[in-house]
Structure 1
Amino acid sequence: MAVETVAAHTESSVDLGPAAALSCRECGERFALGPIFACASCFGPLEVAYDLPSGSSDELKKRIEAGPNNIWRYAPLLPVPADVADKPNLNPGFTKLVKADNLARELGVTGGLYVKDDSGNPTHSFKDRVVAIAVEAARAFGFTTLSCSSTGNLAGAVGAAASRAGLRSCVFIPHDLEQGKVVMAAVYGGELVGIEGNYDDVNRFCSELIGDPLGEGWGFVNVNLRPYYGEGSKTLAYEICEQLGWQLPDQIVIPIASGSQLTKIDKGLQELIKLGLVEDKPYKIFGAQAEGCSPVSTAFKAGHDVVRPQKPNTIAKSLAIGNPADGPYVLDIARRTGGAVEDVNDEQVVDAIKLLARTEGIFAETAGGVTVGVTKKLIDAGLLDPALTTVVLNTGDGLKTLDAVADTSQATATIRPSLDAFRAAGLATS
């Protein structure tokens, strides 16, 4: 089945595989592939438009299944050159889709509950996916420095990917980030710069740097490379459907920071439908936020189309983006699919982290606690159907956010090295 998505008049000299142009999400104007992120006519955000593969869906499916066990198996659907798998890269993706039967029993889910566990990526978060795509764009456009504004996970992913690709890295983070994420970003040897303020302050600074001669030759993965970077999240949709036997999930719960991940997962699902790789059927997308930074959830529940910025105050720092760029698009998708956007407080986040660890042996970072906590809340409210197949995303490793659970996760007892002491502590149960 051929899918033609781009008019032939737009030309580009760079090789990014099936990527044919950049298209404005607001007015539809197209631009040649390049390091730009906003429409020159209406200032709307740009995204990659494709000439997707022609031929039968069965042939494409076989080609994908014969590919490497990472995101490059989906290279025909991504803005990357055909030989991407041969280049130095971290090769993220194809992480586990865990059938979470124990968690399902706790939550009363009967239709099948799965956790897409992206903590298994090279730097232990889903950010490796998006950065891998951005690296290929940086190479294509001749950038020598890879950079980003980050709430933590992205900083580490950029540092690692740049080292592997032989690029310089310089990343910017809020000054009060969790220490684990600071270490995991700094260890790769690039520059790590703390900015006084929150993530939105960091992002504004990076936008200024791009327009200054100081930023010449710099590829900011989530600014001037953002259209390409965002496409990496589509691979989550591809993998989930392939791992479900080329089936769409009925419901999927996705954490919201900027909102890009949720919008691109929806885009990926739609592409699979158009290509005939999955059977078209209704699915619902649910967004998950922390109560202390819930601008999209607040707008959804109020019935608003405008997302009003908030000042973040939550332990879920990886989701602490008070002015999410893709917030309005998240609202559209949640409403179009019949889903919802909900939030949980910090105590519920911690409880959910421990629940997932106790039931499935998966130690999630705070963002994973948000998705599990919101899943429980949605079920209790009757908004998520427990009789349907549901996928919940865990986007990072709990070792990155140890402080969140440290106070409530301590040794059960400290005893002398004797059996009598063990019995006296009440631990010798049958």
Structure 2
Amino acid sequence: MRAGAFGHATALSCRECGHRIDLGPHYACPECFGPLEIAYDFPAVTASDIEAGPRNIWRYKALLPVPDDIEESPNTEPGFTRLLKAHNLGRELGIEHLWVKDDSTNPTNSFKDRVVACALSAAREFGSKVFACPSTGNLANAVAAAGARAGIKTVVFIPADLEKPKQVNSAVYTDSLVAVNGNYDDVNRLASEIAGEEEGWAFVNVNVRPYYAEGSKTLGFEIAEQLGWRLPDQIVIPVASGSQLTKVDKAFRELIELGLVEDKPYRVFGAQAAGCSPVSAAFKADQQVVRPVRPDTIAKSLAIGNPADGVYVLDVCRRTGGAVEDVTDDEVRQGILLLARTEGIFTETAGGTTVGVLKKLVETGTLDPTLETVVINTGMGLKTLDAVSDEVGAAVTIDPSYGAFVATGLA
């Protein structure tokens, strides 16, 4: 590996025992088998330094495990997506100050482009010959596109029953889309086995997971910057593996540590679909262990029955005074329609879950509607059309005459 290949990252640190090892393609602690994450020795960074950078995630490269010349390597350049003031949705739910962080405008229309860009940088440094992933859809899209842009062979693995639009959104970028009979957890086990047997394969969320996961921090960095270098009071985040939620929290803590934002309390809330809600169940039962479940929900991008970061989601939500909640598939559909018809944002089922949970948190008095709140939309609704196709359609069908139109009562 070349000097400075991972920027200001210094080591891989175990999240359980704190043991440190050298940077490399590792994801499990050799001492206790706990998960590894990136440790840094950050330089002095000012808001002006960041604002002078490109309008994508590389404006935060000093805070990521990537080289200083990262912009020169072909990548999809994700990030710096819009933060919208959600006046209409806020009025509908009774929230005074509500924002939507809309990551559906990333290159492959989901937040996964962020994490994949960081994973791709690591794969390059490790000399990987194949860029791969197990995925519930969005990650497969992002990996396939990023691999095409970088000129590296990509192989992506998905559950065979994945939504057709997400399959197509991967297959257009690669001819190596592998559909596996089973759910995501089955696909992930297969990927882990392949990663252990095949040399030169970089599985973004397996053997380069510590680098991949850091990409989610950029969501937290952007939200703070777009709010004028301050943290929101409350944030609602969808939970699949749980990595996004824990890394947004890590981003907030790093910004405080660097003096880029004021040190203030903030509350983190996790959102799951009831058909795959092991973290929500553990939170409500006041348990420290997340028990795996078999997913059964339309929110397939959140359908991870054994979430890798589940216990850490519990830690974050409890530490910050937040919560983890879940909603039914019908509430997921209603969440999709609510966001679309109030803010003109068509979200996928993960976003419908998050909006549905936001609504439920307000109704139960769990979330304070007087405080500034951000909700994250992680992906585009065109990927999960089946979820709402039976719920919407033409209001009426009429003959092509003015009289027929008047009869509808729409005038």
Fold similarity call, TM over 0.5: yes
Determine helix, strand or coil for the equivalent of 1:211: helix
In structure 1, the gaps of 5 or more residues are: 1-10
Contact 2:299/2:349 (CA < 8 Å) preserved in 1? yes
**2: CA distance between counterparts of 1:278 and 1:147?**
36
Indicate the residue corresponding to 1:30 in structure 2. Answer: 20
Partner of 2:407: 424
Mapping 1:277-426, distance limit 5 Å:
277-426=260-409
Are residues 1:88 and 2:74 paired? yes
- Show the 5 A alignment for 1:28-427: 28-54=18-44, 60-110=46-96, 112-212=97-197, 215-427=198-410
Report runs of 4+ in structure 1 exceeding 4 Å deviation.
11-14
Q: Is the 8 A contact 2:155 2:174 kept in 1?
A: no
SS of 2:388 mapped into structure 1 = helix
Tell me if the contact between 1:297 and 1:342 (Cα under 8 Å) persists in the aligned partners.
Answer: yes
Q: Are the aligned partners of 1:296 and 1:327 in contact in 2 as well (CA < 8 Å)?
A: yes
State how far apart, in whole Å, the 1-side matches of 2:369 and 2:182 are. Answer: 41
Q: Percent of aligned pairs with the same residue?
A: 67
Residue identity in the other structure for 1:100:
A
Q: Output the CA distance in 2 between the equivalents of 1:34 and 1:102.
A: 47
Q: CA deviation at 1:13?
A: 5.7
Q: Does structure 2 retain, via aligned residues, the 8 Å contact 1:14–1:141?
A: no
> Shift of the alpha carbon at 1:19?
1.0
Shift of 1:134: 0.3
Deviations 1:257-304 (A, max 9, x none): 000000100000000000000000000000000000000000000000
SS where residue 10 of structure 2 aligns?
strand
Task: Deviation per CA, 1:346-402: give whole Å up to 9, x if none.
Answer: 000101110000000000000000111001101111110000000000000000000
Q: Contact 1:12/1:21 (CA < 8 Å) preserved in 2?
A: no
Q: SS state of the match for residue 375, structure 2?
A: strand
2:178 is matched by which residue type in structure 1? V
CA distance in 2, matches of 1:148, 1:317: 16
Cα-to-partner distance string for 1:162-184 (whole Å, 9 max, x where unaligned): 00011000010000000000000
Letter in structure 2 aligned against 1:358 = R
**Normalized against structure 2, the TM-score is what?**
0.99
> Residues 283-336 of structure 1: CA distance to partner in whole angstroms, max 9, x if unpaired?
000000000000000000000000000000000000000000100000011000
Number of equivalences: 411
SS of equivalent to 1:289: strand
Separation (CA, whole Å) in 2 of partners of 1:357 and 1:115: 12
Report the Cα offset of residue 340 of structure 1: 0.2
Match in the other structure for 1:16? 6
How far apart in 1 are the matches of 2:2 and 2:72? 23
Distance 2:406 2:98 in 1: 39
Q: Conserved in 2, the CA contact under 8 Å of 1:150 and 1:199?
A: yes
Asked if the contact 2:4/2:67 (under 8 Å) is kept, the reply is no
**3-state SS of paired residue (2:215):** helix
TM-score, length-scaled by structure 1: 0.94
Q: Which amino acid in the other structure matches residue 310 of structure 1?
A: V
CA contact (8 A) 1:22 1:32 kept: yes
Gap regions ≥5 residues in structure 2: none
The one-letter code sitting in structure 2 at the alignment partner of 1:85 is E
CA distance in 2, matches of 1:14, 1:181: 36
Decide whether aligned partners of structure 1 residues 216 and 190 sit closer, same or farther in structure 2, where only a CA change above 3 A counts: farther
CA contact (8 A) 2:28 2:36 kept: yes
